[in-house]
Structure 1
């Protein structure tokens, strides 16, 4: 099963196995990862699942759609590598993906 590595704002690292087809947000909630709330349940209306994707993984993701980009504009401290984790569906090719959790979500 592919794995996600979550790194919090203080450098703490947490790993979670994620079934193929599940979003990184769902995995974070299932594994009680602090910093990802997913208040809207993954329908892109809150940005409480905002993450920073490690640079080496960005090219392996599908580009963000316009609606996701619009939500990210409302996130606190968005960066070039910002994504909504509800929009990143896990695949075997993403095994080991690293995402950083914004300090603003703690």
Structure 2
């Protein structure tokens, strides 16, 4: 199973082995990773699973959809590497992915 590392805003890191097909958001919620609220449950309707993807991984992700880009407009402190964790599906090519939570989701 691919390993995904979550880094909180405060610098704490946890690496989880997640099954393929799960979203990075689902992995965080199921494992009580702080900083990913996921208010809409993964429907790409709230932007409370906003994460910063480590720059070295950006080109390995599927491009953000129009809906995801639109939802990111509601997130605070977005950066070029901002993504919604609900839109990143775990797959073998993402083994080692590092995402960081922002200071706040609201």
> Does the alignment reach a TM-score above 0.5?
yes
CA shift, 1:105, in A, is 3.3
Name 2:61's counterpart in structure 1. 61
CA shift, 1:16, in A, is 1.1
Name 1:22's counterpart in structure 2. 22
Spell out, residue by residue over 1:23-42, the C-alpha distance to the aligned partner (whole angstroms, 9 max, x if none): 00000001100001111011
CA distance in 1, matches of 2:105, 2:45: 16
Structure 1 stretches of 4+ moved >3 Å = none
Matches within 5 A, 1:17-96: 17-96=17-96
Spell out, residue by residue over 1:11-55, the C-alpha distance to the aligned partner (whole angstroms, 9 max, x if none): 111111110000000000011000011110111111110000000
Residue correspondences, number: 106
TM-score by length of 2: 0.97
Note if 1:12 corresponds to 2:12: yes
Where structure 1 has 5 or more consecutive residues not aligned to the other structure, the ranges are none
TM-score by length of 1: 0.97
